[in-house]
Amino acid sequence: MSTTPKSLLWTRTDTAGAEHALVDDDHGLTARGTLLAVDPIPYTCRYQVATDSNWGSVRLEVEVEGAGWRRNVRLERATQRWRVTAAEQGDLEAVLTGGGHPPAGLPGVEDPDRLAEAFDVDLSGSPLFNTLPLRRLGLTTAPVDTRHRISVAWVLVPSLTVLPAEQVYTGLGPSRFRYVNGGFSAEVEVDPDGYVLRYPGLVQRATTR
């Protein structure tokens, strides 16, 4: 697989928005990226993520901001435990409820031990984070119908609430996999390095001309 630094851009297909990620996968993955979206309210989300050499997640930092509010969360894994810190400025709850949307809840997680089984982190709305379990589990080269049920630390955007979640990844060949999270399922197309090309109902990777 290629280890050349990458600049990846996805456009949202479910709402107005995009993501740009700068990725280095020479020894595991280090990446930083920016997401923009208008749903449920306009926001900018910036993140940095790092894995170990086996693609197990070790750190994620996320900051989200909109008009009159800002939130951040940091997850770090060491000695098989996650440490989670979070902060907020302004009042995202008031902005959401004022626009007729459900409240968001607090950033972070009350009990980090609920994340004890998670080897991966997942940032909602970002296709980059699907690559982490794909590469960690070797699904891009595994036999068709190889299936893994995994636990992840799932960071919701824009609230930055962190939830433990079970997800299922099933390899469908070198260029596709099936993703299941609760009642949601999608068949996702990836490039030879495991980065998303097309995620139905979420994003499409932009190509240079």
Q: What share of the chain is helix, strand, coil (3-state, %, to 5)?
A: 10, 50, 40
Tens digits of per-residue pLDDT, 101-120?
999 899 999 999 999 999 99
Which pLDDT value is given to residue 207? 82
DSSP 43-57: EEEEEEEEE-TTS-E
**How far is 197 from 184, CA to CA, in rounded Å?**
19
Q: What is the pLDDT of residues 75-85, one digit of tens each?
A: 999 888 999 99
Which residues, given as ranges, of the chain have pLDDT below 70?
1-3, 209
Structural tokens at position 177: 């996999």
Check residue 1 and give its pLDDT.
58
pTM of the model: 0.95
Q: Which two tokens stand for residue 189?
A: 């197309």
31-37: list long-range contacts, CB under 8 Å, 24+ apart.
31/128, 33/126, 33/128, 35/123, 35/125, 35/126, 35/157, 37/12, 37/125, 37/157
Cα gap 65→144, rounded to integer Å: 41
Q: How many CA atoms lie within 13 A of 52 on its CB side?
A: 9
